Structure 1
Amino acid sequence: MNQAMLDPTSAADATAHGRAAPAAPALAPVAIDHVAYPSYDATLTHRFYVDVMGFTLAGAQTGMSRLWGKPYLLVSYQIEPGQALAFFNCDGLAPEPHPDTPATQIHHVALRVRDLEALERWKARLTAHEVPFAAERHGDGEHLYLLDPNEIMLELCMQTPESAAGQSQGALDTLQRWVDGVR
């Protein structure tokens, strides 16, 4: 097994561990603008994201892709101002078989809800639209998992200390134990 020692002197890790960060050029903060996926049926995708998820159609454009050598349709749905899920359609685009394995289930988009009451409203909405979902508890929070018409896994969750967006304390040590083979 090839083991590596992680560098605890990176600026972000040093700051998280209360040490002075090494001098580095300042970077402008970034945020997610959009996440893009293939769409195999523009109508089903549109109905799902507008009717079921309640997103707003943010834009649509067509063009010729030099990369693919084909015409494409790009449709985006606003999650909130400045954040969107985007879907590409093009001729010859077909879904790959979706095996039920952890590797395929890891690829997902997690959408944060405000609180437990909002999560309960999502359960009712998904049930009303007959969209199957699974509920799991991770740490302090419940998470809902569902597939869109393109077999993209969506997660609805609240931010908790254990969620991926909120657990810097002890993260480097946890990562190092994994790299060292401690499971």
Structure 2
Amino acid sequence: MTSTTGDAPLEHRVRGVDHAAFPTFDPRATITFYRDVLGFPVVHATCALGWGAADHPDFIHFFFDIGNGDRLAFFYYFGVTPYRDADLPELMFRARHLAIHVDSEADLLEYKRRLDASQWPCELQVRHETVESIYVTDPNGYLMEIARPLRSITAEDDIDANLSVDALMDIAAGEEPTLQKFYARKAELIAERYAGEPTQPSFA
């Protein structure tokens, strides 16, 4: 399939939805609903100390498999509540985005080239744990991501993701969850899971 801009044909290189993302202010209920009630497996989770701007809150970004290679993702911002934070409207607006999948670095760079040659240039290019992404705000003000895989998701990624959401479930039940409390609880869960097992990595 091709599209055109003026007289120049443009090859259509996207391969559908990588993920759709939303904010959550109740991660325990969100995980219970999607993982435990609907049975959507947790397949990836990534954490960050802020993001971009110095005042951006720490967060965890976790993903559910919803079939056909598509994923549903949520951001949980530590210390942010929908009742007291002046930055909440912008956070919610930027967290809600659609990520489109492309297969290769060449495809990603082609879309970056097209954007940079337009009146909507690429705003950010970043490598996450398993994908490389570019971001742009469309003419309606919606954030859009185009992502290409850096590697395949493994069984170890699934284990890590589930340990992450279990740690999040535990600390979110207490007062004032923080990324530091999350990391500490996740370390405890890892130690419990592998207690008594060899500590040498399998590739050593």
TM-score, reference length from structure 2: 0.39
Q: Which has the larger radius of gyration?
A: 1
- Say which structure is richer in helix: 2
TM-score, reference length from structure 1: 0.42
